[in-house]
Amino acid sequence: MTALDHTSGIRDNHSSPPTRRDFLTVVTGAFGAVGGAFALWPLIDQMNPNPGTPPPETRLVDLVPIAPGQTVTVAWRGQPVFVRHRTSDEIARARNVAVSSLPDPHARNAALPANAPADDANRTLAGRPEWLVVVGLCTHLGCRLQPLHAIEPGSTGEGWFCPCHAARFDLAGRVRGGPARTNLPVPPYRFVATSIIEIGRA
């Protein structure tokens, strides 16, 4: 009896084994699918962001809740940024420091030339000396900084220190001791309202 009984119209339960043609058809289809995926991959991959380029992130910070003498920490591009509301006494002390006494004489301010001096006026925006904005990572090995009064109870809060290697930074974010050799960077920022700053855009 053949695979199909012509007298009854009932198919035999036994199917014929796959042929070479069936095998070649399956293999050709598989290779075609893989080849198509490889051909489309460059188009798909170019839509992904460049991993070497940081995201164009900005951060708005409301300054109203920050009392004089207080620091808040906000996240920007995966980094902690200190926003300090300095008192008039803190500003005066920071401005009385001679640049010649600093380990790093450069401002490290994204809004200024690389060789701008590290006097206090170059660490803040013109006309707004009460607001200090700096990246809160030690410039030695990138450890997160802590307030100085955390290790010196009763101190007047003269700045920040690195708990790993004891680097110290003043209330202008300038290195004053320890293994760190450069000042804390001042990120690009601007006032977009009387009491709101935008970090990430000068």
Are 90 and 173 in contact by the 8 Å Cβ rule? The answer is no
140 noted as active-site residue:
no
Going by C-alpha positions, the residue among 149, 144, 154, 148 that lies closest to residue 78 is 144
Are 160 and 169 in contact by the 8 Å Cβ rule? The answer is yes
Q: Give the side-chain half-sphere CA count within 13 A for 4.
A: 2
Which residue in the list 85, 140, 149, 165 is annotated as catalytic? 165
Rounded to 5°, angle at Cα 197 from 71 and 160? 25
Are 109 and 116 in contact by the 8 Å Cβ rule? The answer is yes
Which residues are designated catalytic? 165
